[in-house]
Amino acid sequence: MATSIPIVRTRKEFWELMERHVSKTYYHLAEETKLPYEHNYLKSYLIEVNSLDPRAIPMYIRQIKLRQTELSAEVIPTDDPRLYNVILIAKTRRRDKTSIKRAVFYLEISPQSPRFWVFHTIEKSQTTDYLLKHLILKPGSKLDSPWFSTALLLDFSEKLGELRGLGIQYKYSEVFENWFEEEANKDKDGGFEELPEGSISPEDIPFTEGIFATEFTMRIWGEVSWRILRKFIEDEDLQKLSAISSIGIKREEDHEKFIIEDITFWGKFLSRGTSFLEHIKTIHEIESRYFRVLSEKIETELLSAEKSNFGYRPKGSPFIITLKNTELTDNPKFFDSFVNKIFSGKPPFRIFGIKSKVAKDEYVIYGTDLHNGDPIELEVTPEWITIHLRSIPNKNVCGNTILRFLTNIQRYYDPQAELESEENGPIF
């Protein structure tokens, strides 16, 4: 499948292409309220990296083995050693049919830290999300998304521009889907009356007995966003649903040069405006804020031993997530399902572990972070989760594991969950 997206040879070509594209996108939306056929938003994906050279992507991606899909990549350098063209391709064979997804990305290595990459693209989201998912989610990939908790997204909305949009996605039912199915199946022969075509069937109604809410999704754009956000912050019941999944901000240098960003909790930026420079500034500012949390508040607290005059002494402290959702306490039968689901090794938590039930309401997990193979130990109760992540000599242990775990706990179980370390107190 051919693509009309150009390959850039210089940083100047790349910059001019991006500037034209964001300006054209904004013009079409402002004048025509829609984009023309095959014109897509600029999308930028911030990626956290551990020890991978961009030139090794083709060899790396060939090692990803999928049942029906063959992945390949091509990396084309530019005149700038921090900028590459990356072409990702996925060929999927089902019976006698083959479908191909192909996209061109422009990979920038952050000038602030080689730990962060940005994949820019003007291809379709459906294709680019799919291809990058496979690149990142391979076990041991050493690639991960940044994970913006509710507190971080609120901080971005207050400090980086004018709030223009808000997204909330609370997905509680996905954590307990197997348990819900079992409970719902008990009522399958309960004599539901026949419903007309197009109506909600009994199978579509989640089991909600004794549950505050199973899921909630909301997306809003406009000046009313702040008023809606305040309602969720101030109302005790709405706080239980306020898993912020995205924010929209407008950032401007002046009235002529601005960018409007939609920023998701997993580091995807969708942009339109009149200034690509403002887009890059936004990404770099968020990257800097995120890196400070990782380097100053997380990775300084990894457990280790340091030499002293009397031998070795412990250094660092565990991290504690305090749970305000009382569902696991009020409904103890959910607890086993909660632990089994979260530590299954599947996305988005990506932690697989041996689970040892040491009490009726406590598990100890001896786990592995599938992102990079780091060992991790957790104590899990209905009221709190303690995380022990150890610093390993001659190995870059990744504190991103902690923020991924917190962000997804907020999204799938408790939007009010809070993170702290025993040494330094609250992280946010």
104 pairs with which residues across the strands? 87
Give the residue among 12, 35, 6, 9 at the shortest CA–CA distance from 22: 35
End-to-end CA distance of the chain: 46
Question: What are 310's two structure tokens?
Answer: 């009397």
351 pairs with which residues across the strands? 369
Q: Is 32 helix (H, G, I), strand (E, B) or coil?
A: helix
| Structure confidence by residue, pLDDT tens digits, 250-296 | 998 877 899 999 999 999 999 999 999 999 999 999 999 999 999 88
Predicted confidence at residue 247, as pLDDT, reads 96
Rounded to 5 degrees, what angle do the CA atoms 393, 397, 399 make?
145
Write 281-286 long-range contacts (CB < 8 A, 24+).
281/251, 282/160, 282/161, 282/249, 282/251, 283/44, 283/46, 283/118, 284/110, 284/111, 284/112, 285/160, 286/46, 286/156, 286/160
| Structure confidence by residue, pLDDT tens digits, 168-215 | 999 877 765 554 444 444 444 433 333 333 333 334 444 455 566 778
Q: How far apart are CA 428 and CA 154, in angstroms?
A: 11
Q: Is 253 helix (H, G, I), strand (E, B) or coil?
A: coil
Q: How far apart are CA 379 and CA 325, in angstroms?
A: 17
In order along its 428 residues, the chain shows pLDDT tens digits of 445 789 999 999 999 999 999 999 988 888 888 888 888 999 999 999 877 778 878 777 777 666 778 888 999 999 999 999 999 999 988 888 888 999 999 999 988 888 899 999 999 999 999 999 888 877 666 789 999 999 999 999 999 999 999 999 998 777 655 544 444 444 444 333 333 333 333 344 444 555 667 788 999 999 899 999 999 989 988 998 889 999 999 998 877 899 999 999 999 999 999 999 999 999 999 999 999 999 888 888 876 656 666 655 566 689 999 999 988 888 887 898 889 889 988 888 989 999 999 999 999 999 998 887 888 999 999 999 999 988 765 456 678 899 999 999 999 999 999 999 987 789 98
Q: How far apart are CA 39 and CA 120, in angstroms?
A: 15
Rg, Å, the chain Cα set: 23
Predicted confidence at residue 373, as pLDDT, reads 82
Predicted confidence at residue 185, as pLDDT, reads 45
Sheet with 384-389, edge to edge strand ranges: 351-359, 362-369, 375-380, 384-389, 319-322, 418-421, 425-426
Q: Is 109 helix (H, G, I), strand (E, B) or coil?
A: strand
Give the residue among 210, 120, 130, 213 at the shortest CA–CA distance from 168: 213
**Cα separation values, 298 from 49, 154, 303, Å:** 16, 19, 11
How many residues are present in the chain?
A: 428
CB 359 within 8 A of CB 347: no
Question: What are 123's two structure tokens?
Answer: 């291809």
Q: Is 103 helix (H, G, I), strand (E, B) or coil?
A: strand
Q: Is 303 helix (H, G, I), strand (E, B) or coil?
A: strand
The 8-class DSSP code of residue 365 comes to E
Which run of H or E residues covers position 225? helix 225-234
Give the residue among 188, 219, 392, 236 at the shortest CA–CA distance from 303: 392
Give the residue among 278, 367, 320 at the shortest CA–CA distance from 44: 278
In the numeric block, the tokens 């829609």 are attached to 34
Do β-strands 418-421 and 319-322 pair in parallel, antiparallel, or remain unpaired? antiparallel
% of the chain residues with pLDDT over 90? 50
CB 324 within 8 A of CB 417: yes
Rounded to 5 degrees, what angle do the CA atoms 368, 369, 374 make?
75
Q: Taking the model in full, what pTM does it have?
A: 0.87
The 8-class DSSP code of residue 287 comes to H
Question: What are 395's two structure tokens?
Answer: 């190995």
The 8-class DSSP code of residue 31 comes to H
Which run of H or E residues covers position 410? helix 400-412
Question: What are 149's two structure tokens?
Answer: 């908790």
Question: What are 177's two structure tokens?
Answer: 């889907």
Which run of H or E residues covers position 226? helix 225-234
Predicted confidence at residue 195, as pLDDT, reads 33
